[in-house]
Structure 1
Amino acid sequence: MSLSVGDVAPEFSLPDQDRQVVSLADLRGTPVLLVFYPFAFSRICTGELCQLRDELATYTDAGVRVLALSTDPAPTLKAWREQEGFDFALLSDFWPHGAIAQTYGVFNDKAGMAVRGTFLLDADGRVAFTEVNGPGDAREQSGWKDAVAQLAA
């Protein structure tokens, strides 16, 4: 079961594309947008994260830190980040495989991948917005922007 608005977000520490550990606890005091996605280099995921890249100022200007998470290994994420020019961290939930996606309720154990889960966390680490889309169902990001604007207000 996925998290709901008002829930405390589960803590995690994961390596990014450069194998530098990013801990949610270290970001306390800063709103965070967590974007879980199935696979690097896939068509829908690339479209979603390229839109996020192109509209990143919407989030960063509001003081929101953006983190994208998948079950891909760090070297794959590094290659994808370099190819697409992403300016936000890509976190690897590779091992134990999908453990963080599981704690957020967005892991498809039959396919071994995260589903399209989006969580906006407030500065205290509580879920302010959540959206979960199934495989093949691209996300409309206007809801994320509305939630960021409400959080910033």
Structure 2
Amino acid sequence: MNLPVKAVEQLQRLSEQKRDKLSAIYQQQRRQVDNYQQQLQLLSQLKQHYMGAEQTHGSAINSAMLNNSNQLTSQLTTMIDHHQHEQAIMSAECDHSEQQLQASNQQVKRFEEVKKRWLAKQQYEQARKEQKQLEELINLRHKKRKV
């Protein structure tokens, strides 16, 4: 009767290990998403700062400065677009990992419930067995007295 409980305990342990690995992956992905968000904000601030500084120069801009300005604006826009795309992908991966983590948590809880049921069944059968032995002992004593 102990075999099912041991099997469930083993499955529960494996499920907990899987959950812990998924949790570590999720935390790492969450940090990456946060890092990309911070980089995206910094790039946006840099672009806004540069655009504001460009307007203060006014009429003193020559063709080389205008060319450099256009290149920088183009590069910043490209980097921002790339970071937004990467962040969207990482966010989707992070959401998927979170769903897997929740499913793993539910699986661990189910194994805990199964283990509790098996232990309760085991205790019930043990108590029933002891009660039956006690009844047999009482019946045996009654039979001896009658004889």
TM-score range, shorter chain: under 0.3
Greater percentage in strand: 1
Greater percentage in helix: 2
- Structure scoring higher RCO (CA < 8 A, sep ≥ 6) equals 2
- TM-score under structure 1 length normalisation: 0.17
- TM-score under structure 2 length normalisation: 0.17
Larger radius of gyration: 2
